[in-house]
Amino acid sequence: METIVKVENLGVMLGGKTVLEGITFKARTGELTGIIGPNGAGKTTLLRAILGLIPLDQGELFVLDAGKGRIQDVRPKIGYMPQRQSFEKHFPFSSADVVATGLLSPGTMLKPLADRPGKIKDALRSVGMEDYTERPFRNLSGGEQQRVLLARALVRQPHLLLLDEPNAGLDFPAQQEFAALLDRLKIDQGLSIILVSHDLLSVASIADQLVCINKTMHIHGKPNEVLKSHKLDEAYRCQFDLLSRGGEGKGCHH
């Protein structure tokens, strides 16, 4: 399989402080890579680095064969779903309107894209929301809103999809449905997906590999290897909120 993202000894400093250091992994075509770690571990910063939005302090980064400094050239091939955002509650956005915002960029503001309605319809169909095209976004359930926001990230038919805490705020059934949808998209469209989450189990159930970070990389491997590793304690240094859905978590060693 083709390597679509290559990260080598990546380090990032923000405001004079080291936010990430020593991050190394590869993401391949048609695989889902889960980036896990506690809150404040630098997971969102890593996604922003992959998007080319923040400079690297050290290391190398290649995304779709573009090195650092040239990632803006391939950004149209990257779909990005940031942490849950709230559209203005009283503004009459339909589901199609929300998806349409994914087609906006400085290069498209002044000229219409070919078959814009068709692209929006295809994106909504790909997430099972084709019957909700004109439905007000504010009236959708949390799970339905996440599907529409996923369609927004998919509307340009990207090669790489980056998701930042997509399950945040969803109940467990909605999380399961969203995970099944990602698994289907990965297979049907050959999508490469990098998904950030602090919820270890939900990601492990669908990931091909896990990268566990807390400012630095603690463990990287197949989900079953990572789940059994004592290095998870090192990375989280706090009680896991997810090793059992209704029971006690795993205590940390300090």
Position 210 scores a pLDDT of 95
Position 1 scores a pLDDT of 72
38 is a domain residue: yes
- Please report which helix (H) or strand (E) contains residue 176, including its range: helix 172-189
119 is a domain residue: no
114 is a domain residue: no
Position 27 scores a pLDDT of 95
14 is a domain residue: yes
Distance between CA 36 and CA 47 in Å, rounded? Answer: 12
Find the CATH number of the domain harbouring 46: 3.40.50.300
22 is a domain residue: yes
Q: Which of 28, 9, 66 is nearest to 194 (CA)?
A: 28
37 is a domain residue: yes
* Domain span at 74: 3-90+157-236
135 is a domain residue: no
97 is a domain residue: no
Name residues of the chain where pLDDT drops below 70: 85-90, 105-114, 237-254
DSSP characters over 203-226? HHTT-SEEEEEESEEEEEE-HHHH
Question: Could you give the number of structural domains in the chain?
Answer: 1
Position 99 scores a pLDDT of 94
Task: Mark out the alpha helices in 51-141 (DSSP H runs).
Answer: 95-100, 116-126
Give the global pTM: 0.87
